[in-house]
Structure 1
Amino acid sequence: MTDQAAPSDASADLWASIDDLWTWLDANRPVGDKEGMLLRMLKLSEEVGEVAQAVIGATGQNPRKGVTHSWEDVQGELCDVVITALVALRTLTPDTREVFTRHLARVKERSLGSAS
């Protein structure tokens, strides 16, 4: 027996966690209204930059610093990007799960066609 949740349980936990994070962030944001929403969208750029920094660090591309990150660090930063994007989407709509699922289906159809 494994410790992993069934896929439907994991999906429900994901969306519940996104809602929980959004609720917490919304209650604790220092800037509200449209400006706060825009800042939440900009957070994505910050997280993507951290992915780039981790990749550069994992490959030792900065000769002054050498290897400063692991590929596990890159994985964590990519997860931060996904979480931040889902929270940003939740900021735009309470129907986050449905919007994401519909869009994923369109991307899958466009990319994989009838092979999906």
Structure 2
Amino acid sequence: MIAELEHWLSKDSKLPAETRTILQILKITEEAGEVAEAVIGATGQNPRKGFSHTWEDVEKELCDVIITSMVALTRVSQDPEGTFARQLTRVAERALGPS
């Protein structure tokens, strides 16, 4: 499904592939900022806006970060699913020990 999203995002773009990749990587930061905004809104920490978001909003924004990151990974890796699985295994083994 991620590959299909990447194709949809790229199909009408006039930008060079390298530029699309760089912009997709930058998009991760934009999405992370939306997570921060949702957390601030869910906790009511902006005195001007108060409780403007819910924890469900935070969940959705976190998913947007993951999706955006996976699209970026698809653009830089020949095997994005394998790359992600190997990295997840490395992180889990470092934190939890070998399985």
Shift of 1:20: 0.6
Q: Deviations over 1:70-111 (max 9, x none)?
A: 000000000000000000000102311111111111111111
- Is 1:103 the counterpart of 2:84? The answer is no
Give structure 1 stretches of 5+ with no counterpart: 1-16
Q: CA separation in 2, counterparts of 1:48 and 1:29? A: 24
- Give, in whole Å, the separation in 2 of the partners of 1:48 and 1:30: 26
Runs (5+) with no aligned partner, structure 2: none
Return the match for 2:3 from 14, 19, 23.
19
Matches within 5 A, 1:1-116: 17-114=1-98, 116=99
SS in 2 for 1:28: coil
TM-score, normalised by the number of residues in structure 2: 0.93
Give the paired residue count.
99
**Structure 2 Cα separation of the partners of residues 68 and 30 of structure 1:** 37
The runs of 4+ residues in structure 1 deviating greater than 4 Å are none
| More contact order relative to length (CA 8 Å, sep ≥ 6) | 2
**Cα gap change, 1:72 to 1:105, in 2 (>3 Å):** same
TM-score, normalization: structure 1? Answer: 0.80
Identity between Structure 1 and Structure 2 (%): 53
